[in-house]
C-alpha cells in the first residue's frame, strides 16, 4: 500500500503520506488502518499528504463514499490535505466539496509547512479563547 501512517501523540496528530499510484482500494483501506492503530485518538488533528502522489486512479464514487461516511475524528479537529500537483489539488478540492457536511474543518494547502502553520494558528486561537474566558468547549 503506498501510504505511510504516523501517529504523533506529542503533537496530537495523525499524519498520512500517500505516494506513487493511489487507487480506490488504498483509500478505502486506509480508514481501517487508522481506526485499528492502537495509538489512534479521535481528538487528534489529521494531515493527509498527497505531495508524493504521481498518479491517482480514484473514482468519484469512492470519494463520495469516504466523504459521506462519518469521520473517525471528533467534530472539532482539523483535517488538512496537502496537495501540490494540480491533479492532487483537484482531487482534494473535490473531496472537500463532497465532505462539507461530515468534515467541517477540512482545509486544502500546498505544502506541509502550510499545514503545520494552520494547525499552530488554530491552537493559538483555542488557547487564547480558553485563557480569556476560562475553560470552555471550543468548536
The CB-side HSE value for 12 (13 A sphere, CA atoms) comes to 11
Domain parsing of the chain, residue ranges: 3-133
Distance of alpha carbon 105 from alpha carbon 79, whole angstroms: 6
Q: 480569556: which residue's cell?
A: 132
pLDDT tens digits for range 29-77? 999 999 999 999 999 999 999 999 999 999 999 999 999 999 999 999 9
Question: What is the pTM assigned to this prediction?
Answer: 0.87
Contact assessment for residue 56 and residue 90, using Cβ atoms and an 8 Å cutoff? no
For domain 3-133, which architecture applies?
2-Layer Sandwich (3.30)
Residue 73 three-state SS: coil
Q: What is the distance between the terminal CA atoms of the chain, rounded to a whole angstrom? A: 34
Per-residue confidence band for 122, with pLDDT thresholds at 50, 70 and 90: confident
Order of strands, edge to edge, in the sheet holding 3-8?
3-8, 13-23, 45-57, 79-82, 106-109
**Cell numbers of 39, please?**
495509538
Report the distance separating Cα 77 and Cα 3, nearest Å: 22
Nearest partner of 82 among 116, 123, 33, 128, judged by Cα: 116
Hey, CA dihedral for 85, 87, 89, 95, is it positive or negative? negative
pLDDT tens column, 97-119: 999 999 999 999 999 999 999 99
Amino acid at each position: 500500500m503506498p501510504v505511510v501512517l504516523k501517529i504523533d501523540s506529542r503533537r496530537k496528530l495523525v499524519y498520512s503520506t500517500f505516494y506513487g499510484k493511489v487507487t480506490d482500494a488504498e483509500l478505502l483501506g486506509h480508514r481501517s488502518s487508522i481506526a485499528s492503530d492502537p495509538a489512534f485518538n479521535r481528538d487528534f488533528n489529521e494531515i493527509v499528504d498527497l505531495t508524493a502522489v504521481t498518479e491517482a486512479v480514484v473514482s468519484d464514487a469512492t470519494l463520495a463514499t469516504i466523504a459521506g461516511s462519518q469521520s473517525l475524528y471528533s467534530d472539532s479537529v482539523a483535517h488538512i490535505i496537502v496537495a501540490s500537483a494540480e491533479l492532487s489539488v483537484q482531487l482534494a478540492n473535490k473531496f472537500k466539496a463532497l465532505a462539507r457536511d461530515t468534515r467541517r474543518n477540512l482545509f486544502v494547502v500546498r505544502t506541509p509547512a502550510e499545514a503545520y502553520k494552520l494547525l499552530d494558528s488554530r491552537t493559538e486561537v483555542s488557547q487564547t479563547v480558553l485563557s480569556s474566558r476560562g475553560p470552555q468547549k471550543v468548536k
